[in-house]
Amino acid sequence: MSGLYHDDFVESLQRELSAELGRWGLSASTRLSLLSLSENATFRADDPERTEPVVLRVHRPGYHSIAEIESELAWISALRAASIVLTPRPLPARDGRAIVSFAHDGGSRQAVAFEFVPGHELDGSQDLAGDFRRLGAITARLHQHARRWQRPAGFTRKTWDFETMLGARAHWGDWREALGLTKQGRLILERCVQILRAQLADYGRDADRFGLVHADLRLANLLLDGERLAVIDFDDCGFSWYMYDFAAAVSYIETSTEMSELQSAWLAGYREVCLLSKEDEEALPMFIMLRRLLLTAWVASHSETPTAQELGTGFTEDTVLLAADYLARID
Domain chopping of the chain, boundaries: 10-115, 120-330
> Which pLDDT band holds residue 9 (cuts at 50, 70, 90)?
confident
Between 254 and 105, the more confident residue is 254
- 3 state SS of 107: strand
Among 1.10.3720.10, 3.30.200.20, 3.90.105.10, 3.40.630.10, name the CATH number for the domain at 10-115: 3.30.200.20
User: Between the CA atoms of 301, 132, 198 and 322, what dihedral angle is there, to the nearest 10 degrees?
Assistant: 60
DSSP string, 25-41: T--TT-EEEEEEESSSE
Q: Residues 96-108: pLDDT tens digits?
A: 999 999 998 888 9
Average pLDDT over residues 14-28: 96
So what's the pLDDT on residue 107?
A: 87
> Which pLDDT band holds residue 3 (cuts at 50, 70, 90)?
low
Average pLDDT over residues 168-182: 96
> Which pLDDT band holds residue 2 (cuts at 50, 70, 90)?
low
Measured between alpha carbons, how far is 58 from 238 in angstroms, rounded to an integer? 19
Of the candidates 32, 224, 231, 216, the one whose C-alpha atom is nearest the C-alpha of residue 113 is: 32
Q: Residues 267-281: pLDDT tens digits?
A: 999 999 999 999 999
Measured between alpha carbons, how far is 307 from 314 in angstroms, rounded to an integer? 13
Measured between alpha carbons, how far is 140 from 115 in angstroms, rounded to an integer? 25
Close Cβ partners of 18 (under 8 Å, ≥ 6 residues apart) = 30, 32
CATH topology of domain 120-330: Aminoglycoside 3'-phosphotransferase; Chain: A, domain 2 (3.90.1200)
- Which range among 180-189, 285-294, 304-313 shows the weakest confidence by mean pLDDT? 304-313
So what's the pLDDT on residue 204?
A: 98
| Residue 5 pLDDT greater than 80, yes or no | no
Average pLDDT over residues 23-42: 94
What is the overall mean pLDDT for the chain? 95
Instruction: Give the side-chain half-sphere CA count within 13 A for 119.
Output: 23
Measured between alpha carbons, how far is 199 from 165 in angstroms, rounded to an integer? 15
Average pLDDT over residues 246-254: 97
> Which pLDDT band holds residue 259 (cuts at 50, 70, 90)?
very high
Average pLDDT over residues 291-303: 96
Q: Residues 113-143: pLDDT tens digits?
A: 999 999 999 887 678 999 999 999 999 999 9
